[in-house]
Amino acid sequence: MTKNLYVIISLWFSVYYGFGQVGIGTTTPDNSSILELNSTTQGLLPPRMTTIQRDAIVSPAEGLFIYNIDSKCFQYYIGTSWSSCLGGSRTNKLDCGSVNSNGSYITGNPLTNSNTITIDVLVNFIDTYSITTNTVNGYSFSASGIFSSLGINTITLTGSGAPIANQTDTFTLNFIGTGLTCNIDITIAQNYTNCLAYLNAGFTTDGIYTIDPDGAGGTPAYDCYCDMTNDGGGWTLVFNHNFTGGYWINDLEAHEYNVGSPGLTTDKYSILSKLDEIKSNADYEFRLHFPTLGLTNHWSQTFDPRSGRSGTNPVPGYTPINITMTNAGWGGLELSGDTNYLGGSIGWFHSNFSIGHNNNWFNGIPAENSTTDRLQLYIR
């Protein structure tokens, strides 16, 4: 009889707990719960894992609950992604006081890697992030990734596009998924008339700049290479010749060639046709440089070098400033030349200061008592 009663009681408990509530630490689990835990000395310990381990779970069920040991918080799966950290105070926050813009912004110039916005984020839990801005005046910024550590993380938003107009643009940084935003203003600089104008406005880095010599006039702006560091800076490159790229076919080619590819790496480049547009003063201030020889002549002259031979030596208005080449009766620049030279100093038929050559002259470009492989001419 006792044995049969024990079996009956065991069967009753199995049915009760199989189809009712389960209590651990209590014999009377709440009717609204399927499981009730009761203890004054122990707690519930859910699965603990890193963010990488969490993301490696295959097809997580909606509502799956874990403790993220990287983020130091609880998270659950919301069906398409993992939730933010549970707990109202454990959120990642933007520091709007830290927002800065970097780089120069010029109408018509496409943004580069130097055009960025930086902002500090107070990271309370490790998670992915996406911060974007609105598009204003033809350009915008964005950044995405995974926070690297708890505490302050400086996030860099990279720019894209190109400013359309000269104006001050207000951007709103949107921390996706949080509702947090910050604002920053960026002012677009005008196109300047030449490299010296850029230098005077505070631009001190060598490189490509867009110039607009006639301002609001009908002539379109164009790119030039600016030397901002040598001999006072502010020099606009008007001629670059590396003879490994070949010689000039004729004077016409040497006066304007590869206009859309300014720079020291373009073997044949010339905007001599634009001298009057680019010069800053009534005088023509030139800098002739032979980089492989380390020779430079810096001078000014009032004589237009494109007008033909002046018939005098030195040319009218010639003023030496820093002359390291004095051979062959140096006295300024003329671009008429003879059938073999596209320009040079006056005084000698075969001047050693020609800025261009359309023949193989001892396999190089005429220079001070020798030949060289390249030369550069700047105006300021």
Q: Which of 32, 33, 66 is nearest to 50 (CA)?
A: 66
Q: Tell me the three state secondary structure of residue 349.
A: coil
**How far is the C-alpha of 176 from the C-alpha of 116, rounded, in Å?**
18
Domain-ending residue, one of 47, 64, 89 = 89
Q: Are residues 287 and 364 in the same domain?
A: yes
Q: Are residues 60 and 181 in the same domain?
A: no
Q: Are residues 168 and 209 in the same domain?
A: no
Half-sphere exposure of 29 (CA within 13 A, CB side): 14
User: What are the pLDDT digits (tens) for 353-370?
Assistant: 567 777 776 678 877 777
Q: What is the rounded average pLDDT of the residues 83-99?
A: 81
Asked if residue 199 is part of any domain, the answer here is: yes
Structure tokens at 325: 């080449």
262 preceded by cis ω (within 30°)?
no
Asked if residue 18 is part of any domain, the answer here is: no
**How far is the C-alpha of 331 from the C-alpha of 296, rounded, in Å?**
14
Q: Are residues 68 and 56 in the same domain?
A: yes
User: Checking phi first, is residue 324 left (phi over 0); if not, alpha (psi -120 to 50) or beta?
Assistant: alpha
User: What are the pLDDT digits (tens) for 299-347?
Assistant: 999 999 888 777 788 889 999 999 988 776 678 888 765 544 555 544 3
pLDDT confidence band for 236 (50 / 70 / 90): very high
Domain-ending residue, one of 39, 62, 89 = 89
pLDDT at 345: 47
Q: What is the rounded average pLDDT of the residues 268-293?
A: 94
Give the domain CATH number at 130: 2.60.40
Q: Are residues 148 and 217 in the same domain?
A: no
Q: Above pLDDT 70, what percent of the chain? A: 87
Q: Are residues 66 and 201 in the same domain?
A: no
**How far is the C-alpha of 327 from the C-alpha of 345, rounded, in Å?**
10
Q: Are residues 216 and 323 in the same domain?
A: yes
Positive or negative, the CA dihedral 47, 48, 53, 54 is positive
The parent domain of residue 173 ranges over 93-187
Residues forming beta bridges with residue 377, ordered by sequence position: 239, 288
pLDDT at 331: 83
**How far is the C-alpha of 89 from the C-alpha of 87, rounded, in Å?**
6
5: Cβ contacts below 8 Å, ≥ 6 apart: none
Q: Are residues 288 and 219 in the same domain?
A: yes
Domain-ending residue, one of 164, 187, 210 = 187
Q: Are residues 306 and 226 in the same domain?
A: yes
Asked if residue 11 is part of any domain, the answer here is: no
Is residue 291 within 8 Å of 371, Cβ to Cβ? no
Q: Tell me the three state secondary structure of residue 200.
A: helix
Q: What is the rounded average pLDDT of the residues 221-229?
A: 93
pLDDT at 20: 65
Q: Are residues 275 and 374 in the same domain?
A: yes
User: What are the pLDDT digits (tens) for 32-44?
Assistant: 888 888 888 998 8
Asked if residue 13 is part of any domain, the answer here is: no
Structural domains in the chain (count):
3
